[in-house]
Amino acid sequence: MNLNEKLGKKFIITTELGPVKGVLTQDAVKKAKEYLPLDGLNIHDCPMGNLRINATAMGSLIQQELNIPAIPHFTCRDRSLLGTQADLLGAHAMGIRNILVTTGDPPKHGPYPSKAVYDYNTFELVRLIKKLNNGLDYNDKEFGGKTDFTISCTAMPTSKDLDREIERVKKKISAGADFFQTQVVYDAPKAIEFLEKVTPLNTPVFLGLMPLKSVKMAKFMDKNVDGIDVPDSIISKMENEGASGIDIACDFIKEIFNAVDGIHIMAMGDVVGTNKIIKFINSLSV
């Protein structure tokens, strides 16, 4: 059963491949083999403007060697309108069937004097992919055959303007989004408030979860990372009760489990920690 067939029918668990060093793809594949069974594996598209192997090519390799559906990220940052369509057709030819559409971090964050392209925004990219799924290019001309992409988009449950964020979600659904993988969220009540607003839209949502490595990390993210709130109660549990980031993650999942369609684990390559979370989720599903 592919990922699209599972949507809305089972609790979905996805995670991220983590950085691939240059062309050392087998090192990444070997590490990914250690994950417990997953429904999908995300692959970043040069995050923070740093050089990484092409996400769709790496996704194709992951699918061939691990038989896990890949979800390569596809940014608006680097490609012209022509190059985008060519790359999407190429991705489809390599067996990619899931695409996460994202704006992409500006090149200024990275080490290269690159210039961003941004020929289109995320809404326009979703609409373009839907056109390709119907056998039409940007100009509504038949190109030969049809693609069969399932489209993922992002959302921010902790947005300071939640109503505006919900409108953006609705706009992405109207454009053609098939499911959402959200940004990191730690505050269960805020997550539930967000889910209560998006559930009537009948589009699966997987909440993003990044296990906290330390109290220092928790405080840093709460203070410095836009869109991430780490409740004082969580920091207190870690400081005063010795709770680990995995403990905090599992407590959060237990609170929101019946309100969400899945979890997207962002553990920065921590296979052991990710597997502990997967085991916990599977225990709730029994």
At 6 the pLDDT is: 92
Token pair recorded at residue 78: 């680097």
184 three-class SS: strand
At 117 the pLDDT is: 95
At 8 the pLDDT is: 87
191 three-class SS: helix
Q: What is the dihedral of CA 26, 151, 16, 64, to 10 degrees?
A: -20
Question: By CB neighbour count within 10 A (0-12 exposed, 13-18 middle, 19+ buried), where does 166 fall?
Answer: middle
Q: Taking a C-beta distance cutoff of 8 angstroms, is the pair 98, 71 a contact?
A: yes
d(CA 211, CA 209): 6
Cα 44-194-180 angle, rounded to 5 deg:
30
Token pair recorded at residue 114: 């690159």
**CB within 8 A of 109, min separation 6: which ones?**
48, 49
What are the structural domains of the chain? 3-285 (3.20.20.220)
At 225 the pLDDT is: 86
Cα 156 to the center of its chain, rounded Å:
12
d(CA 38, CA 12): 8
Which amino acid is residue 37, in one-letter code? P
Say which DSSP state 267 is in: -
Question: What is the mean pLDDT, run by run of 10 residues, along the chain of 286 residues?
Answer: 87 94 95 96 95 97 96 96 98 98 94 94 98 98 98 96 97 98 96 97 97 94 88 93 94 96 93 96 87
Token pair recorded at residue 85: 């369509």
Cα 252 to the center of its chain, rounded Å:
18
Task: From residue 206, give the alpha-carbon distance in Å to each of 8, 39, 218.
Answer: 11, 12, 22
Q: Residue 153's CB: how many other CB atoms inside 10 A?
A: 26
At 228 the pLDDT is: 87
**Helix residue ranges, H only, the chain:** 3-6, 25-32, 55-66, 81-93, 122-133, 162-175, 188-198, 215-224, 232-240, 245-256, 271-285
Q: Taking a C-beta distance cutoff of 8 angstroms, is the pair 144, 86 a contact?
A: no
Token pair recorded at residue 111: 């080490």
